[in-house]
Amino acid sequence: MQNPEFNSGVIRPIEVYKEAWELMKDQYWMIFAVTLLGMLIGSVIPIVIIGPMICGIYLCMLDKMERREVQIETLFKGFEYFAPSLLVAVVVMVPVFIMIFTIYVPMIAMAVAGPRMSESELMPFLLGTIVFEVVAAIVMVCLHTLLIFAFPLIVDRKLSGFQAMKTSARAVWHNLGGVVGLFGVGFVVVLIGYLMLCIGVYLVLPLMLMSTIVAYRKVFPPMSPQYGMPPPPTAYPGI
């Protein structure tokens, strides 16, 4: 399928969050249940199942955008997009696991070798670890930002995993200010969630995902139905 065109400069982060809340508030607890269930199931076999579950969550939210009732059953329709979502999940999640691994390995190494390391050896080791983790974190944030629309493109436009990632990156690049602002507002929302005894993080997650779908729909409007030309009169001989 040909990559779809997209709008530029259409994301207003605060307005997106307001619109997302207005859209979901009458079915908030159902959307919360779908999001929580999808994340729990997706964590059973990381990377392999998380992609279809995210697709299912976004399918539910697209239904809500189109004024249809959100239903739990829709969550499992995400498995219809298993192959393309798996590719995106690998690209998104594998660097996360690599970073986690690189955090714990130095900690274990320090615990084992710490008593035998001199201060002149320890300080460069710590500095190198910190620099590596900061660089890795920046790379992951940039990667995740560029792919923010990949899963919605898979379920909405039926793109392959590669096409979805490429199209998402192009669209984000042409809406970079709005997407960065969206992440900024999301960071504030997460902080508020942490202030709510940490459990608030789970309560605000559906709002963050819905805001992604609202922003997505502004960048990628619904496709107009394509109507074919009527056949010529000669197509019906004898009439």
Q: How far apart are CA 197 and CA 201, in angstroms?
A: 9
Q: 22-60 b/e with 16+ CB inside 10 Å = b?
A: ebbeebeebbbbbbebbbebbeeeeeebbbbbbbbbbbb
pLDDT of residue 138: 81
% residues pLDDT > 70 (the chain)? 81
pLDDT of residue 159: 95
Distance between CA 8 and CA 19 in Å, rounded?
Answer: 19
pLDDT at 39: 94
The answer, yes or no, to whether residue 232 has pLDDT greater than 70, is: no
The CA distance from 85 to 162, in Å, is: 10
Q: How far apart are CA 24 and CA 29, in angstroms?
A: 9
Tell me, what's the pLDDT at 131? 77
Span 163-170, mean pLDDT? Answer: 95
The more confidently predicted of residues 104 and 187 is 187
- The per-residue pLDDT for range 121-166, each reduced to its tens digit, is 667 767 777 777 777 778 778 888 999 999 999 999 999 999 999 9
Residue 116 in this model has a pLDDT that exceeds 80: no
Looking at residue 139, its pLDDT comes to 79
pLDDT digits (tens, 9 = 90+) for 3-58: 468 899 999 999 999 999 999 999 999 999 999 999 999 989 888 999 999 999 99
pLDDT in the model for residue 1 = 45
Q: Which residue has the higher pLDDT, 57 or 120?
A: 57
Dihedral, CA of residue 146, residue 152, residue 154 and residue 158, to nearest 10 = -130
Q: Please say if the pLDDT value at position 2 is more than 50.
A: no
Residue partners of 232: CB distance under 8 A and separation at least 6? none
Amino acid symbol at 137? A
Q: What integer pLDDT is reported at residue 227 of this predicted model?
A: 45
- Give the residue among 172, 102, 111 at the shortest CA–CA distance from 134: 102
> Where along the chain do its domains lie?
13-222
Given a cut of 50, is residue 228 above it in pLDDT? no
**Would you say residue 236 has pLDDT above 60?**
no
Q: Which letter does DSSP use for residue 83 in this model?
A: H
Question: Would you say the pTM of this structure is higher than 0.95?
Answer: no
| Short-list 99, 124, 125, CA closest to 112 | 125
What is the arithmetic mean of pLDDT over 199-207? Answer: 89
Instruction: Please give the Cα distance from 237 to 239 (Å, whole number).
Output: 6
Please state, as a whole number, how many other Cβ atoms lie within 10 Å of the Cβ of residue 67.
Answer: 7
